[in-house]
Amino acid sequence: MKLLVVLLAATAFCAVSAIPLVPRDNSHYVEGVSRYIWMPDDEGNQYLIDLQAPIEDDIVSLNAGNRNEYWLFTRRNRNSRQILTNGNANSIRNSQYNGNRPTMVLTHGWNSNGNTNWINQVKNELLAQSDVNVIVLDWRRDASNAIYLPSARNVVGVGRALANFLNFLLDTGGSNWNNVHIIGHSLGAHVAGNAGRSGRQRPSRVTGLDPAGPNFGNNADALNRNSATYVESIHTNGNSLGINDVISHADFYPNGGRRQPGCGNLDQACHHGRAPLLFAASIRSSHLVGRRCNNLSEANNNRCTGGSLVLGNINMGKRGSGIYAMTTRNSWPY
C-alpha cells in the first residue's frame, strides 16, 4: 500500500513538472525550438501557450473566414458601424461607402475582436486626418481559441475570405485594389498578407504591425513581399511574440525591434502592442523617421546611420525598401 502511495505521488509530481517554469518575459523563447510561450491577447490578458499541443480536426475550422464580419466607418458614421455583407449588394449601396475614397482595412489578432482598443484608436486617427472608408474585419469566431495553433492556422482561410469580400466590394461599390491599404496586428498581419496575395490584384499597401512570430518563421503563410505593391512591417517584440525576420519591402525596428521604452520587462503585451500605437501616431504626423541599416544585427542594436524613410503613414503611393531602425520616446506620440 505504501509503495502504491509513493508511485502515485511520483506520478503526480511528474505530471505537475511536465510544464517547465516559463519566464514571463519570454527570454527563453527561440522560434521553432521552444514549446511554451506566454502570450497576451490584444487586451493584455496573459496565457501560457503550448506551441506543440495536438489539435483535433474539429477544432480547426474547415470554413475559416465564412464567419468574418465587415464593419464600415466613415466621417459620416464615425462611431456607428454599418455591416457590409459579402454577396449582398444592398448592404453596400445603402451604406456610406464611397468608391472615390481610399479604403483602409484594419484586422485584429488572436483572442481579440474588432472592438479592440488599437483598432478604435487607428480608426479615429484615420478619419480625423483623411476622408476614407475604414473597414474593420472582425474574425473573432476564428481567432478565439484557448490554444493558439488553431487560430494561427485559420489566418489563410480568413485572409482569402477577406480578399473575396474586397473583390465584391470594389466591383459593387466602385474603386480598385490600387486604392486599398490593409493593416493588421500580430496574427492579423498574416491575415492581411494572405488577403493581399488572394485578391484579383495586389493592394497598393499592406502594413504588418508586429506580425506574429510563433509558428510563422520561414512559413509560406506569413506576410511577405508578395502581399502588396508595397509591404511594410513594424517590429516591436521580435524573437518573442513578434517575428524578427526581414519579411517586407521595408522593415522598421523601433528601439531595436524587441523591447520598447516605457514597457516593463514582463509586459509582453506592451512591447507587442507598441506597433499599432506607432502606426496611429504616424497617421497624425511624419515625425517617426528610420535610418537605413546594413543588416538585421545593426537594426536590433539600433545602430543605423544610412538614408531615411518615414515609418507608417497612409500615403497610398508610398514606396521604399530596406531595413530601418530608430529611437522613439516612451509615451504618445512617441
How far, in Å, CA of 124 to CA of 102, rounded? 15
Helix/strand/coil (H/E/C) assignment for every residue in 268-282:
HHHHHHHHHHHHHHH
Let me know if residue 10 belongs to a domain.
no
For residue 55, give every residue at least 6 positions away whose Cβ sits within 8 Å of its Cβ, in sequence order, or none. 147, 149, 150, 153
Asked if residue 2 is part of any domain, the answer here is no
Q: How far apart are CA 196 and CA 93, in angstroms?
A: 24
Do 53 and 147 touch, CB atoms closer than 8 A? yes
Q: How many Å apart are CA 137 and CA 156, to the nearest integer?
A: 14
* pLDDT by position in tens, the chain (length 334): 433 333 333 333 333 446 778 998 898 999 889 999 999 876 778 889 999 888 776 556 668 999 999 999 999 999 999 999 999 999 999 999 999 999 999 999 999 999 999 999 999 999 999 999 999 999 999 998 778 999 999 999 999 999 999 999 999 999 999 999 999 999 999 999 999 999 999 999 999 999 999 999 999 999 999 999 999 999 999 999 999 999 999 999 999 999 999 999 889 999 999 999 999 999 999 999 999 999 999 999 999 999 999 999 999 999 999 999 999 999 999 9
Q: Is residue 290 part of a domain?
A: yes
Beta bridge partners of 292: 324
CATH number at 19 reads 3.40.50.1820
Confidence (pLDDT) at 8: 32
Predicted local confidence at residue 78, as pLDDT: 96
Q: Which three cell numbers stand for residue 91?
A: 448592404
The two beta strands, 69-73 and 82-84, are antiparallel
Neighbouring C-alpha atoms within 13 Å toward the C-beta of 316: 16
Establish how many alpha carbons lie within 13 A of residue 152's alpha carbon, considering only the half-sphere containing its beta carbon.
23
For residue 1, being part of any structural domain is answered with: no
DSSP 22: -
CA 150 to chain centre: 16
Q: Which residues constitute the domain of residue 261?
A: 15-326
What pLDDT, on the 0 to 100 scale, is given for residue 145?
77
Structural contact between residues 112 and 269, judged by C-beta atoms closer than 8 angstroms: no
Neighbours of 160 (CB within 10 A): 18
What pLDDT, on the 0 to 100 scale, is given for residue 16? Answer: 40
Q: Decide: 141 and 175 in contact? Cβ < 8 Å.
A: no
Burial class (CB in 10 A: 0-12, 13-18, 19+), 307: exposed
Residue 92 maps to a domain: yes
| The predicted structure's pLDDT at residue 7 | 33
**Residue 334 belongs to some domain of the structure:** no
Whole-number Å distance between alpha carbons of 319 and 310: 10
In order of 11, 33, 57, 74, 189, the CA distances from 194 in angstroms are 45, 25, 22, 25, 9
Number of domains making up the chain: 1
- At residue 5, the pLDDT reads 34
Query: How is residue 281 written as a grid cell?
Result: 501616431
Asked if residue 32 belongs to a domain, the reply is yes
Q: Taking the CA atoms of 281, 282, 286 and 288 in sequence, report the sign of the dihedral they define.
A: positive
Q: Are 313 and 290 contacting, i.e. CB atoms less than 8 angstroms apart?
A: no
pLDDT of residue 317: 97
User: Which residue in this structure is represented by grid cell 536590433?
Assistant: 300
Inside any domain, residue 8: no
Q: What amino acid positions are annotated as catalytic residues?
A: 186, 210, 272
Q: What is the model's pLDDT at position 6?
A: 32
Give the type of residue at 262. Answer: G
The x, y and z cell numbers of residue 334, run together, are 512617441
